[in-house]
Amino acid sequence: PLAEPLILHNGSLAGAEGCRLVCDDVTKGKLAVYRHGQRLAGASVIMAGVVLLGNRIKIGRGVLIESGALIKEPAIIGDSSEVRQGAYLRGYCLIGRRCVVGHTTEVKHSIFLNDAKAGHFAYIGDSILGTAVNLGAGTKLANLRFIRGEVMVKTPDGAINSGLRKFGAIFGDRTQTGCNAVTSPGTVIGRAGIIMPNTTVPSGCHPAGSLIK
């Protein structure tokens, strides 16, 4: 773990000694770092206690990575995104701009498009979150069948073999889940879908605007 906070500015890392940090709404570009009274435009903050495993980790401008987060390579974290305390990025993670990877949220082999947020206690495995998707606390995107084999995606025209042993979910833009929602492996939700709290979503393709409860 990092013994002290680091400031990433213009491609260079430096200690935070002599800096004043203003950790306001990161996703709205309000993270601010001042050194000797001068603002370091676009600076990112990596707090003490963060673990970075590997050299293939790219961190954008205005990013905040809180203490206790563990990030494995390869990973990309876009501008003005926030990786909160205890988050676990297990590698092959692409996090877009203005995203949130929340407290004790685990992400592996997944993509967050811009403005996607998983703020609290979520699991996102082998999945894609569209633009402005929001996952309620405790949402889990299951990615592995009980019975060994490749994940099948059910459609009105029959099942499609994904060719993948692990495949979680694809959420269209602006889809939302309530707290403790769970999706089965091979779930595809169209744009602006809503999954109600405590709902288990069956595998398959659900059209845009679906209300699943």
Q: Which of 63, 51, 15 is nearest to 5 (CA)?
A: 15
What is the spatial distance between Cα 205 and Cα 211, in angstroms, rounded to a whole number?
13
Q: Is residue 38 a contact partner of residue 56, using CB atoms and an 8 Å limit?
A: no
- From 9, 36, 109, 120, the catalytic residue: 120
Q: At 158, which amino acid appears?
A: G
Catalytic annotation present for 120: yes
d(CA 134, CA 21): 27
Whether omega for the bond prior to residue 74 falls within 30 degrees of 0, making it cis, is yes
Contact predicate 148/130, CB 8 Å: no
The values of phi and psi at residue 96, to 5°, are: -75, -160
Give CA–CA dist 178/104, Å, rounded.
17
Query: Under a CB-based contact definition with an 8 Å cutoff, are residues 200 and 182 in contact?
Result: yes
Give the Å distances, CA to CA, from 169 to 17, 42, 54, 188: 43, 33, 27, 6
Active site residues: 120
